[in-house]
Amino acid sequence: MDTEIWVEKYRPRTLDEIVGQNEVIERLKGYVKRKNIPHLLFSGPPGTGKTATAIALTRDLFGDVWQDNFIEMNASDERGIDVVRHKIKEFARTAPISAPFKIIFLDEADALTADAQAALRRTMEMYSKTCRFILSCNYVSRIIEPIQSRCAVFKFRPVPKEAMKKRLAQICRNEGVEIEDEALEALIYISGGDFRKAINALQGASALGKKITSDVIYQITATAKPEDIEKLIETALKGDFLAAREHLDSLMIEYGMSGEDVISQLYREIVSAKFDESLKVVLIDRLGEIDFRLTEGAHERIQLDSFLAYLVIVGKKRMRQD
């Protein structure tokens, strides 16, 4: 029985296998060609290939001895100054094995405390002859300026739709899974450029049967169909509060959505809707306030009903103006 997680099974082994980050990969290949790299800082949204790129780069540089000269640490687990002073420094000061230098990959480096980052900047300088650092983060603004200035910064973007679609179709062929075009589009919609999320959703859907439909994708990811959210907004704007509330109830029960999930999808649909700009501005302003209230612990059903009520009021005002 194949029990391997697909995300790991299809993790790129070389830089050539990285999907959707062509500009970054071309620059990194130049470093591989020269057999030397500076300290690197990878920033971008989750699931865009930062960790995979760091490992693939090390493989291309060191070949068979890459594991002897590479250590991966997650800064969100070990984020204090003692980790920098002891664990990182201990690895950095030891000599590389059959390679010109070692590589320390520090994942989620934006979770490091300010003191740990301050200690790290000196470590990066002291051991630069025997060790290179690759840092990855979601928010580069959370990395202190002295570390940013010591690194070559690479910004990863959400994986483009076509690149993701092509790779997901290839995985389906390899796994003997039949998938509808609408299901592929649904995977791309729910992932929002996060390749890891798309592959995990695909594996989850494949466990339910060899033919994957868009309905299955939306069900297992607790995501409503875009047209259902669109219908919810339109119903409220037409002034029918009770029907809109009923529709919201069915969505939350059918898909198991939380208040935050609903707010997130409402935002995506309002932004992409064919409303005029003035209406979008008013609705997003109100939606932002509702999102803040939920974050602060407000009752989600009351807040969602409040937003629907606001849609009804705005819709009736516009009808009177017309």
Extents of the domains making up the chain: 6-155, 161-220, 226-321
Task: With cut-offs at 50, 70 and 90, classify the pLDDT of residue 98.
Answer: confident
Model confidence at 1: pLDDT above 50: no
Given this model, what pLDDT does residue 122 score?
A: 84
CATH number of 226-321: 1.20.272.10
Both tokens assigned to 99: 């390679």
Whole-model pTM? 0.84
Give whole-number Cα distances, 103 to 28, 89, 167, 197, in Å: 15, 12, 29, 27
- Average pLDDT value over all residues in the chain: 89
Model confidence at 123: pLDDT above 90: no
CA distance linking residue 278 with residue 270, whole number of Å: 12
What does the CA dihedral 188, 192, 194, 195 come to, rounded to 10 degrees? Answer: 10
CATH architecture for segment(s) 161-220 = Orthogonal Bundle (1.10)
Domain 6-155 adopts which CATH fold? Answer: Rossmann fold (3.40.50)
Given this model, what pLDDT does residue 75 score?
A: 67
pLDDT in tens, 74-97: 766 665 566 666 777 878 888 888
Both tokens assigned to 152: 């070559």
Q: Would 6-155 and 161-220 be classified into the same CATH topology?
A: no
How crowded is residue 303: how many other Cβ atoms within 10 Å of its Cβ? 19
pLDDT in tens, 279-322: 999 999 999 999 999 999 999 999 999 999 999 999 998 888 76
Per the CB < 8 A criterion, the answer to whether 10 and 122 are in contact is: no
